[in-house]
Amino acid sequence: MNKKDIANIRKQFKLDNHLMNIREIFNVYVQKESGEIYHHVSQPFQMLEQEAQELFLANFKRVLTGHLDAKVFELKFKRDVEDSSQTILFEGLRADTTDDWKEYMLEIVGKMFAHTVYEFDTMVTFIRGEYRKQTRKRDSESEEGGDDEVYSNEFILCSLNKTDQPKKALMFDYIEKEFKSYNVFDPIINMDSPLSGFLFPAFNDNAADVNHILYCAGKANQPDFGFIEEVLNCEEIITAQEDKDCFDFILKEVIGDEVDSQVISNVYEEIDKLVQENKENEESETTTLDTRDIERILTVSGVENVETAKVEHAFKAVVADEKHEFKASSLVPKTIKINTKVADVSINPKDLKYVKYITYEGKRCLLLEVDEDVVVEGFRLESGTL
């Protein structure tokens, strides 16, 4: 799934939406430390109170929120796995009765807590429904398209949430007209920050892909590898941050420890150019870079003595798979931060060429080229000449 696919399904989680039919919701409350199920209940989603529906819908959106390969990952199921989650979820999706659906989902819960112990109670939520997407916008003249022509796919979404203990508070009693201490002992389900979750199946080219699943981590670049392998039975992944770190190591091996800011700026600009060109074709695959691409980018960016053997050696030193390709979108940072004792500077990677590191009167200085007046606390600074 690409960013657009994820955004399309995420925005459908809203009340009374005919394009998103959530038929059933199944909540499982699991006790801390023991991992035992204390209670579970399944019911039609529409039977919930509207306020509860809104809370759940907002939670489901959060499961599908985050940068691809940083917080949200498309995973591929391993083959020939005993009691595979792929098979369990597929059968659960096809289950004719609520009891059968519950049994399959309880198998997933059992796998979740077989090797993991939490210091707090948790709630696992499953929903089963239908996601519909218009094949094209409705033509005002022919009146074709719109809701008359839709893609339709069944799905299961899971969310794992922690519980928080309520804090003591002071309340005002309107009847008695006095202040009182307010104590609540029932745990509160934290719906703002899901610990993890997943969407099955993944959707590619508006069709269900049962060989892949969309997984959501609790924090960016911190996926639960145990969850991915033991619970979902999926293949290993590389996060966007890991991809970026490996790429940076290759750059250092080829360029060296010292480099001109113009060169680094050129490198990021070349990569960004490839990403932007790819965006113009929405149906194209993600832009990736192999050793040859890296060699070409470094050469056109002004790096001297770029040799094929040198690039390949650096590549093999950091990446186990020689056929690995870096996702270009993961390699360009949103901002570059230059931290010094005097000041911290944040700039766009493409603007790094306007920053120079110089020695002036025996002192090391950062020279920042600007094309406008500099205003500090309402005062326009006087311009001087070195």
| Whether 345 and 233 share a structural domain | no
**Structural domain range at position 280:** 241-330
Considering the chain, what percentage of its residues have pLDDT values greater than 90? 55
C-beta of residue 19 within 8 angstroms of C-beta of residue 132: yes
Number of CB atoms found within 10 A of residue 248's CB: 13
CA atoms within 13 A on the CB side of 297: 26
> Rounded distance, CA 162 to CA 120, Å?
7
Domain-located, residue 142: yes
| pLDDT < 70: residue spans in the chain | 138-148, 280-285
Domain-located, residue 218: yes
Domain-located, residue 311: yes
| Whether 49 and 139 share a structural domain | yes
Domain-located, residue 386: no
| Whether 205 and 159 share a structural domain | yes
Domain-located, residue 225: yes
> Rounded distance, CA 159 to CA 153, Å?
20
pLDDT at 71: 95
The model's pLDDT over 251-273, given as tens digits with 9 standing for 90+, comes to 998 988 888 888 989 999 999 88
| Whether 273 and 194 share a structural domain | no
pLDDT at 76: 96
Last-in-domain residue among 216, 237, 258: 237
| Whether 224 and 201 share a structural domain | yes
Domain-located, residue 245: yes
The model's pLDDT over 227-244, given as tens digits with 9 standing for 90+, comes to 999 999 999 998 999 999
> Rounded distance, CA 241 to CA 222, Å?
10
C-beta of residue 145 within 8 angstroms of C-beta of residue 135: yes
The model's pLDDT over 111-142, given as tens digits with 9 standing for 90+, comes to 999 989 899 999 999 999 999 988 877 666 66
Domain-located, residue 385: no
pLDDT at 304: 86
- Is the whole-model pTM more than 0.75? yes
| Whether 342 and 201 share a structural domain | no
| Whether 153 and 258 share a structural domain | no
On average, the pLDDT of the chain sits at 89
C-beta of residue 352 within 8 angstroms of C-beta of residue 335: no
Considering the chain, what percentage of its residues have pLDDT values greater than 70? 96
| Whether 195 and 48 share a structural domain | yes
| Whether 168 and 247 share a structural domain | no
| Whether 343 and 302 share a structural domain | no
The model's pLDDT over 84-112, given as tens digits with 9 standing for 90+, comes to 999 999 999 999 999 999 999 999 999 99
| Whether 15 and 53 share a structural domain | yes
| Whether 229 and 202 share a structural domain | yes
Domain-located, residue 64: yes
What's the total number of domains in the chain?
Answer: 3
Last-in-domain residue among 237, 269, 284: 237
Last-in-domain residue among 203, 237, 271: 237
pLDDT at 285: 60
pLDDT at 147: 66
> Rounded distance, CA 241 to CA 194, Å?
21
